[in-house]
Structure 1
Amino acid sequence: MKINDFTLIVGAAKCGTTSLFFYLSQHPQICPCKIKEPKFFSRDERWKKGFQWYQGLWNWDEQVHKTALEATPGYTDHFPITIEVVQRIASIDANFKFIYIMRNPLERIESALQHGYYQARVGKSGNGEDAFEHFLKSAIDKSKYAQKISEYYRQFPKEDILLLQLDDLKETPSAVMQQVCVFLGIDDSFEFTNLEKAHNKKNSYRTDTLWRKLTRMKRLQPMANLIPEQYKKQLRTYLSRPPRKAKDIPPTLTQKQKKEILRDLREDLHQLHWEYGVDVTRWGFEV
C-alpha cells in the first residue's frame, strides 16, 4: 500500500489540534491515522522505522480516501526541532498539506501551564520557581507562531499551508470545516456533527484519576460492559476529576509576566500580522 497524499495538522499545541483532528476524521474522504499523534517526523526512533512503517499507520482505501490525516503539534514545538521536521518531510516523495491553528498566545501559554501542572510536570513540591520559569520559557517559545510556520513556507508552496484561528473554530465551526475541505480539495458539502465538543480537555490526560485507576483493573472490565453507555459517560466525567491539591493549581500569570511575554513575542506577532496575514489585533495586540 502506498499513500501519496497527506494532511498534517502541525500545531500549535493547546490550540484545538485534537478537536480539529477528530472533526475532520468524520469526513469519508479523509483517512485518519490510527495514532492521532504519530510523531514520525519529530522522533528519531520513529523516523528510523522508515516511510513504509509510517504509511502503515492508516487503514487506507484508495477507492474512497483522498488524504491521510494526522495531528502532531510537536512538529512545531521548538525551533531546532521544527527545522529538522520540515527537512524530513521535504525529503519524502509524496504530497503534503499543512494546517496550523493558533490562538491568543497568552491564552495558549496559560493553557500550557495548566497542562503541565495537571500532568505533574511542573509545580510539584520541590520543583520550585526555577522549574516554573523554565516551563514558562518553553511555553513562550512554542507561542512564536511566525517563527515556526516560516520554516514550512520556505520548503512548501503557500497554497499547501492553511492558517486557522481557534476562535473561528469555536465561533463558526461549520464555516471553518468547509474552508478546510476546500483547502484539501474534498467534498465541502459534507455536514460535520458534534462540532461543539472540545476534545482533549485538561483532565483527559491525567493518570492519577480514579477513572484511570479503575480502567487499569482488568477484572472490572466485564462489569463495565454492563453499564449503559449514557450512565457510563456521566460516571466517567465524575470519576475523571483530579484530586485537588494546592500544588496542582497553576499560578495565574501576573501583569508583569504578561508584559514580559508580550515583549518577547512582539517581533513574532508583527511578522505574523504583516507577512502572513494573521489579524493579531483580534487578540488585543497592537501592530
Structure 2
Amino acid sequence: MDVPTLRIQAIVATGQGKPAVSPPITPVMSSAAMADLPNPRLPNFFIVGAQKSGTTSLHHYLGKHPDVFMSAVKEPHFFAHLGRMGEPLPSGLLFSARLVYTWDDYRKLFERSDGAVAVGESSTGYLSSHQAPAAIREHIPHAKIIALLRHPIDRAYSNYLMNRVHGAEPLRSFEDAFAAEQGRRDAGWPAGKHDYFSLGLYGEALSRYYAVFPADQIRVFAYEELRDDAKGLVETVFAFLGVEPSQPVDASEKLLVAQTPPRSQRIDRLIHSRSRALSVAKSVVPGAVRRSVGARLEAMNQTPARLPERQRRRMVAAYRDDLSVVDRLTGKNFSRWLEE
C-alpha cells in the first residue's frame, strides 16, 4: 500500500476524519496587550486557501467593494508563523520576502481599514498549517473563514508547473514528483513548496478549522464556482461578510494565469535564439512563415496545461477517503472529483 493511502487511512481513523486539534501555541503578544496598542484593527475574515485555486482573483474582486478592505500584501502567513516568535524563515525560500512575523508589522497591513465593514487577508498556507486555525481562533474568535478548493490533482499539477517555471522542480515527470514527496521530506526538504500530495488533503486541513470555529463562520467553495460564475460567487461571499451583495464589481479579470514550462530547454533556446547564424538564416525566410513556424514549434514544445483524463482520474483515487471527510464537513459533494 502506498504512503498517500496509508496517511489518509490514519487521518480517517482519528475520529471520523477529524484529527486531534493541535494545542494552542504560545503567542508573541497576548490579545489583551494587543488591544492596548494604538489602532489595533485586525482582519475579521480570512481566505485560507487552497494554493493554486483562484485565491488571488477572489482577493482582488473582494477588495473592489467599498465596504471591504483587503490587505495590500497577499500571503503574509502571519498566523502560521506565530510560534517562531518573530524569527523570519530563511530568505532563500520562494516568496519568503512577503511574509510577516511580528504583530507590529501585521497591524500595519490594516492601518487604512477604518470605515470598512469587512477587513480581510489571504494566506493559502493557513489551510495546511497546523498552527493557524487555533491561533486565529485565539486572537480573532469571531473571524469568518473562506476556503476555495480545487480538484486536488489539478491543484498539484498547477503547483508542479509553477515550480518547473521557477526552476524549483528538477523532476520532469509530474507523477515522479508527486510520488517523491515523502522521500524528500525524509531527506530534509522544507515543507510546502513540493508537497504536491499533502496540500490536497483538504479534509484533514478543514477538520482543524471546524474543530475550533462554528460551522456558520466557515464557507467552502469549489474552484469551478469561481471559474464558471465569478460574479455569483463574489455576491455570495459579500453576503456572508455582511456587506451589500449587489454592489457592482468587475469579476472578469483573471489573475495569475498559470504558465507552462517548455518540454525541452534546448528547443526553447533555439526558438528564442538571437545568434548571428540564426539571424542570417531567418533573413531568407519570409516573416509570415517564420512567425508561423515559430508559433507551432513553441506550442509543440510547451508542457500541457492539463493532465490526460485517464492519468488524472487514476491519481485522484488517492484522495477518496479525504474527500469524503470534506463532504461530511461541508455538506457538499466534492467526491464528484473522483469521477470527473
TM-score (structure 2 length as normaliser): 0.62
Name the amino acid aligned to 1:275.
Answer: L
Q: Which residue in 2 is equivalent to 1:241?
A: none
1:10-56 CA-partner distances (Å, limit 9, x unpaired): 00011101000001010111111121111111235876244343111
Check conservation: 1:170, 1:196, Cα contact below 8 A: no
Q: In structure 2, what is the Cα distance between the partners aligned to 1:155 and 1:24?
A: 25
The change in CA–CA distance for 1:281 and 1:151 in structure 2 (over 3 A counts) is closer
Are positions 1:15 and 2:53 aligned together?
yes
Distance 1:247 1:121 in 2: 20
Tell whether 2:104 aligns with 1:68: no
Distance 1:254 1:171 in 2: 21
- Structure 1 pair 20/128, CA: closer, same or farther in 2 (3 Å)? closer
Q: Residue 141 in 1 paired to residue 198 in 2? A: yes
What residue in structure 1 maps to residue 162 of structure 2?
115
Please give the residue correspondences for 1:1-287 in structure 2 after superposition, counting only pairs within 5 Å.
Answer: 1-43=39-81, 48=86, 49-62=101-114, 64-77=115-128, 82-93=129-140, 95-123=142-170, 133-135=179-181, 138-193=195-250, 195-203=251-259, 249=303, 258=312, 261-280=315-334, 282-285=336-339
CA distance in 2, matches of 1:171, 1:46: 40
Aligned identity (percent) is 25
Q: What amino acid does structure 2 have at the position aligned with 1:144? A: L
Give the partner amino acid of 1:271: V
> Residues of 1 paired with 2:117 and 2:85: CA distance?
24
Q: 1:132 to 1:179 in 2, by over 3 A?
A: closer
SS at match of 1:138: coil
2:59 counterpart SS class: helix
Higher Rg of the two aligned structures: 2
Q: CA deviation at 1:255?
A: 7.3
Give the superposition deviation at 1:65.
0.5
**Structure 2 residue matching 1:11: 3-state secondary structure:** coil
Q: Distance in 2 between matches of 1:129 and 1:275?
A: 29
Q: Is the 8 A contact 2:165 2:259 kept in 1?
A: yes
Whether the 8 Å contact between 2:45 and 2:143 is mirrored in structure 1 is yes
> d(CA) in 1 for partners of 2:164 and 2:302?
6
SS of residue in 2 equivalent to 1:164:
strand
Change (3 A) 1:99 1:256: same
177-186 vs 2-11, which deviates more? 2-11
**CA shift at 1:61, angstroms?**
3.9
Aligned letter for 2:227?
A: K
Name the SS of the counterpart of 1:70 in structure 2.
Answer: strand
Q: Report how far residue 132 of structure 1 moved.
A: 5.8
The unaligned stretches of length 5 or more in structure 1 are 205-243
- Asked if 2 retains the 8 angstrom alpha-carbon contact of 1:7 and 1:97, the reply is yes
Note the C-alpha offset of 1:158.
1.0
Secondary structure in 2 aligned to 1:69?
strand
Compared with structure 1, are the counterparts of its residues 245 and 41 closer, same or farther at alpha carbon in structure 2 (3 Å cutoff)? farther
Deviates more, 1:141-150 or 1:53-62: 53-62
Give the deviation of 1:273 after TM superposition. 1.9
* Cα separation, 1, equivalents of 2:231 and 2:43: 24
Deviates more, 1:247-256 or 1:168-177: 247-256
Q: Could you say if the C-alpha distance between residues 251 and 157 of structure 1 is closer, same or farther in structure 2, counting changes exceeding 3 Å? A: closer
Number of residue pairs matched by the alignment: 244
Structure 2 vs 1, CA of residues 256 and 45 (structure 1 numbering), >3 Å: closer, same or farther?
same
The residue matched to 1:36 in structure 2 has which SS? coil
